[in-house]
Structure 1
Amino acid sequence: MKKFLAMACIVMLTACNNNDEDDNSNNGIVGNYRDDMREFVIGISQKAKSVRSGFAVIPQNGIELVSSNGDEDGMPVTTYLNAVDGNGQEDLFFGYVSDDEPTPAEDNAYLRGLLNISKNAGKTILVTDYVSTPYKITSSYQQNQSAGYVSFAATERALNTIPAGQPHNVNTSNITSLSQAKNFLYLINPENFASKQAFISAVAATNYDALIMDLFFEGQQFTPDEIQQLKQKANGGTRMVICYMSIGEAENYRYYWESSWTTSPPSWLAAENPDWPGNYKVRYWNADWQGIIYKNNDSYLDRIITTGFDGVYLDIIDAFEFFEGAS
């Protein structure tokens, strides 16, 4: 969800934060930043599915990675597509330029061309439009359904609220795989809930087929029992509970963050995101960063799996754009 940085800011910030001794693993060649992200996602998927075969892996944005040339006329990258269960996309019909405003037709067509490579490969497309006007919300759901996508109309970009009323395409079915979901709730910011239990109770009163949420509530990790409670829909069906994890940025409020990094950053830590203070671009091909995310014992991914989540929603997949812009 953290995106649309001004290119001038990207280039300037990277120049100030670049560490030459830990350059891109493929000698800084622009084309390889995309390969590195693909390999990162594939590695996460392989580990997760080796522990639980039905565990869903869903990268958000960076949809260019499904194509060999980053465009809809490219060949599908089957190794990448085989590793994921779906693709998340923000701002497809609303919010690309500004919230509650239609996405320009040219940008919509470009994204849809790439999303359809994934859809045609049998993957589920999860769209989050940022839209708040009632008739525009209706339009978002209609356009996404017509395109064959599962969508969520988020009235707040902070992703901190549960919309009033029933979900679009509400149903009583038990959801055991991403392909069965007809709707989803994207709720990664619990700031409007007074406690963990208030959050759990509010979600449990809904009928969404899938929930995308954070591993933590104000620094407290959810427990397996709490995640199990969240898997029950109010109408008696079961839902998938999917965990958000940023892999293209480090966040200074996460358990892994060390206070010394503020003054003595590791070589893989890059520029702070000017639109999201406390979030820092990372050289995601670096082994130490990948260790934190999935390779180490008790990695972020390990915590997500052992807590009982049904999948992982990977953010800042489009971090390759940051490094391409600075090259």
Structure 2
Amino acid sequence: MEPRNNTEISEFYLVGLSEEPELQPFLFGLFLSMYLITVCGNLLIILATISDSHLHTPMYFFLSNLSFVDICFTSTTVPKMLVNIQTQSKVITYAGCITQMNFFILFIVLDDFLLTVMAYDRYVAICHPLHYTVIMHPWLCVVLVLVSWITSVLYSLLQSLMVLRLSFGTHTQIPHFFCEFNQVVHLACSDTFINDIVMYLGAILLAGGPFAGILYSYCKIASTIRKISSAQGKYKAFSTCASHLSVVTLLYGTSLGVYLSGADTQNSHSSAAASVMYTVVTPMLNPFIYSLRNEDIKRALRRFTERKTIVE
């Protein structure tokens, strides 16, 4: 794999969601509000799980990690878009684009892994409740998160290095509001065959694999719940994984909707608008899904806010 000379390009042009000048103040206010809600909501989840000893369990350990990743995930794209709208400039440097793409891949893969780990946690809790504390040992939880981080970092680094070997034209427009990996690769002037192979293999192994794991876990969970005789017992068992199932459905439903939408939309404003769902809306809704459907989180948030009020 011989590196290519990239000296002919120094920046990309992000087309964004709309080029209409009158829409820019509205878009700025909308995405700034969504970003602040995302950061504050996920930060509250993290603070609640840390401050409340009742939430020092594997499930909430994974949830706090997911909330942290969601903050980082949104922060890779939205702040740059807000700066571009405010400064009326749609330019992103070559180095900035590669960096943004690297962190975007890192956090979306990590998000996927954490949701898979959380599905395994729910599988053990419902299918093997008597052995839960033995199987989900704190050290195992830490190892699962560390493996997720290391794998995500290595994969994002590999993809970034693969892009560095490509050559681009001097005036390159990205029909998106961030440096979306697939579109950046296919804007290259050089051959992208190896990049496509690595990208498809990565999608199969790092997206399809975890998704299959989640499906397997919930098939086992559904089978176990069906065997419970009482309706109250079934409801209690299902309620422990309802929030996680909602988040999984939201993330996979929106992301698959974008990438399976066809070639026509892939290079248009509609694809960029659809991407808002899994890059901005999903991380924003996750804290609401977990807090509204989870009494433990509600109690922890109440204790945290009451403690803060007393201190002030």
More strand by share: 1
Q: Decide: shared fold, TM above 0.5.
A: no
Bigger RCO (CA 8 Å, 6+ sep)? 2
Which one has the bigger helix percentage?
2
TM-score, normalized by length of structure 2? Answer: 0.28
What TM-score does the superposition give when structure 1 sets the normalisation length?
0.27
Larger radius of gyration: 2
